[in-house]
Amino acid sequence: MINMYEVSETNKMIEHENLDVRTITLGISLLDCIDSDLNELNRRIYDKITKTAKNLVSVGQDIEREFGIPIVNKRISVTPVALVGGAACKTPEDFVSVAKTLDRAAETVGVNFIGGYSALVSKSMRESDENLIRSIPQALAVTERVCSSVNVGSTKTGINMDAVRLCGEIVKATAEATKEKDSFGCAKLVIFCNAPDDNPFMAGAFLGVTEGDAVINVGVSGPGVVKKALEKVRGKGFEELCETIKKTAFKVTRVGQLVAGEASRRLGIPFGIVDLSLAPTPAVGDSVAEILEEIGLERVGAPGTTAALALLNDQVKKGGVMASSYVGGLSGAFIPVSEDQGMIDAVQAGSLTLEKLEAMTCVCSVGLDMIAIPGKTSAGTISGIIADEMAIGMVNQKTTAVRLIPVIGKDVGEMVEFGGLLGYAPVMPVNEFGCEAFISRQGRIPAPIHSFKN
Amino acid sequence: MKKCIVTVLGKDTVGIVAKVCTYLAENEINILDISQTIVQGYFNMMVITDVTGLKKDFTVLCDEMEKLGEEIGVSIRCQREEIFEKMHRL
C-alpha cells in the first residue's frame, strides 16, 4: 500500500516544484472536411472541431481535480490546413477565412491554442502550399489562438531552399503585421525540419496524415522536479547524476501516462503518445537552464553547456521511455529563451549567445525557440538562420525548429513582453554579415548520404 | 475497490481527526489506513480510504473536503490513489 513518504513526495513535487502536465492535445483529422466550396469547408471544419472537442476542457478539469495534478493547457491540433484547404482555397485570403474558422472553433470549445495552420513542403511546394504560407502573416494577425508551422526539410528529402527563402520573408512579414504587439505573431509560427506527426506542443503541433480520426497526445513537464532532485547529488559522479535524472523522468512521465489514459478513456478517443519533453515556463524554479546550472555550469552558455544538455536530454528519454506505453512527439529538452527565466538571465549576463543556442540544438529536440532578434534583421539573414537549423536537423536525423521574433522597432538589449507562458525576452544580437547570394539560389539541398538506408 | 488518499496539513488544533473522520463516515467512506505525525506543531495526516460507496461525484467530495479544511484552518487534499500508485510502483 502507498505510504506517507510517497504521498508527500508526490504532493511536494506538485506544490513546490511545479510538477504539472503541460498539455492534453486533442488531434483532430480534418481530411473528411475537404470540399471544393469554401463556405462548406469552413462549416464542416467548425462542426467537426466543436463536436469532437466538446468535452475536452471539462474532462481535463475533472482529471485535474480528481488526481490533484494541474493540467496547464488543453489544446487542439488539426491536419495541415494546406492539405485540407487545397481544393477550396484559391488565394491566400481564402486560407485566412479558414484560420478565422479555426480561431472561432477554438474559442467555442475553450482552448487557448489550435495548431495545424501548416504546410508540409520538405521537397517542393504546390500552389496551395504557397498560398497558405503567403497567408500566414495576415492569418496570425487577425486570429488569437491559431498556431502555424511549415516543414521545409527532412533527412529523407533534403531542404527545400525555395521554401526556406520564402519563410524568411514570411517571418519578417508576420513581425510587421503584428508590430503593435511586439511582433507577437512570430511566437505562433514555427519552421521545422523533420516535423513529427504527433507533437502535442504548440506552436508546432499539427496532426499528420498518418494519424487516425482523433487522438489524445500528452506533453509532460517537470524541469523544477529534476532540478530539486539534482540538488541532492551535488558533487557526486556522473553515474549518480544520470541515475537521478532517469528516476525523476520516470516519475514525471508516469503522471503523464496516467493523465493520457484517463483523458482517452473519458473522451472515448484513442491514446496516441506521451511527449517526454522537459518544458520550462517563465516561473522561478521551472527552468531547464537551472538544471544545467545545477549540473555544474556557472551560467548556461558557459563551456560544457552542450555536453550537459546532451546528458540531460538522453537521461530524460531513458527514464521516460519505460514509463509510457507509447512515446513520441518531440521528446527532448526545450530550450526557449523567453519561456525560461534561467535562459533570460544568461542572455542578460552575456553568457548565452545565438551561436551557442544553435550548438545546443544539435543535442536536444527542438531548436532556436522564442528568441527575440532586432527588427531590422533582413529576411535573407532570417532565412540563413533557418537554413542552418534545418541542416542540423537533416544531418542528425532529428527534429529541429526555428521560432524567431524579429521585433519591429526594437534593437539589441531592449526587452520584449509576450505575457503568460510565453514570457519575456531581451533582444539578442545577430551576425550582421550577409548570406543573400546563398539564400537566393533556387531549388533544394539534396538529402544527405546517410539517409539512403534501403 | 476505488481508493482515495486524503492528506491533511496545517497547524495542530483540537478535533482535526474527529472532524475529518466524521465527514468521511457521513459519506460512507471507509478508512483503510491512517498515518499521522506532528512535526514542530504542524499536523500531518494521511488517510487511505475506500470511496466505492460514495454517492456523490468525486469532484464534489474534493470541493467539500477542501471547504472543511478551510473551516478547521488546515489544508485538506483529496486525490485518487492512482497518481501515487503510478508514480511509485512498477
**In the predicted model, is pLDDT for residue A364 greater than 90?**
no
B77: nearest CA in chain A?
A: A68
pLDDT at A346 over 90: yes
Nearest Cα of chain B lies from the Cα of A65 at a distance, in angstroms, of: 6
Can you tell me which residue has the cell 536530454? A313
Tens digit of each residue's pLDDT (9 = 90 or more) over A47-66: 999 999 999 999 999 999 99
User: Closest-CA residue in chain B for A5?
Assistant: B46
* Average pLDDT estimate for A286-290: 94
- Measure A64 CA to nearest chain B CA, in Å: 10
pLDDT in tens, B3-48: 999 999 999 999 999 999 999 999 999 999 999 998 888 999 999 9
Q: Average pLDDT, stretch A14-20?
A: 90
Say if residue A365's pLDDT is above 70: no
For residue B17, the SS3 value is helix
The residue type of A109 is V
Q: Considering only CB atoms, which chain B residues are within 8 Å of A6?
A: 84, 87-88
pLDDT recorded at residue A222? 86
Chain B residues bordering chain A (beta-carbon distance below 8 Å): 5, 7, 32-33, 35, 37, 44, 46, 48, 58-59, 62-63, 77-88
Confidence label for A388 from pLDDT (cuts 50, 70 and 90): very high
Q: Which pTM value belongs to this model?
A: 0.94
pLDDT at residue A36, as a whole number: 97
The pLDDT assigned to A46 comes to 98
Half-sphere exposure of A141 (CA within 13 A, CB side): 19
Q: Largest Cα–Cα distance of chain B, in whole Å?
A: 39
Do the beta carbons of residue A63 and residue A113 sit within 8 Å? no
Q: Nearest by CB to B59, from A66, A257, A258: name it.
A: A66
- Is residue A343 very low, low, confident or very high in pLDDT (cuts 50, 70, 90)? very high
Q: What is the pLDDT of residues A184-222, one digit of tens each?
A: 999 999 999 999 999 999 999 999 999 999 999 999 988
User: What is the pLDDT, as a whole number, of residue A221?
Assistant: 85
Q: Are strands A415-417 and A424-426 parallel, antiparallel or unpaired?
A: antiparallel
Whole-number pLDDT of residue A434: 96
Residue A107 — pLDDT band, cuts 50, 70, 90?
very high
Rounded to the nearest integer, the mean pLDDT of chain A is: 95
Place of cell 530539486: A228
Question: Which residues lie below 8 Å from residue B76, measured CB to CB, with a gap of 6+?
Answer: B6, B7, B8, B20, B65, B66, B68, B69
Average pLDDT over residues A366-387: 96
Task: Give the residue from A184, A185, A313, A295 showing the smallest Cα distance to A236.
Answer: A295
What does the pLDDT read at residue A1?
Answer: 80
pLDDT at A259: 96
Cell of residue A12, nine digits? 511536494
pLDDT in tens, A125-136: 999 999 999 999
**Would you state the pLDDT for residue A355?**
96
Is the distance from CB of A96 to CB of A42 less than 8 angstroms? no
B29 compared with A420, residue with greater pLDDT: B29
Q: A6 in contact with B at a CB cutoff of 8 Å? A: yes
SS3 of A227-257: HHHHHCCCCCCHHHHHHHHHHHHHHHHHHHH
CB contact under 8 A, B33 and A1: yes
How far, in Å, CA of B55 to CA of A190, rounded?
A: 49
Is the pLDDT assigned to residue A2 strictly greater than 90?
A: no
Comparing C-alpha atoms, which of A207, A116, A204, A193 is closest to residue A156? A193
Q: At what angle do helices A223-231 and A238-267 cross, to 10 degrees?
A: 150
Is it the case that residue A333 has pLDDT exceeding 90? no
Interface test with B, best of A8, A9, A11, A274 (most B CBs within 10 A): A11
When mean pLDDT is compared across A29-33, A263-267, A361-365, the lowest value belongs to A361-365
Q: What is the pLDDT of residue A199?
A: 95
What proportion of chain A, given as a percentage, has pLDDT over 90?
93
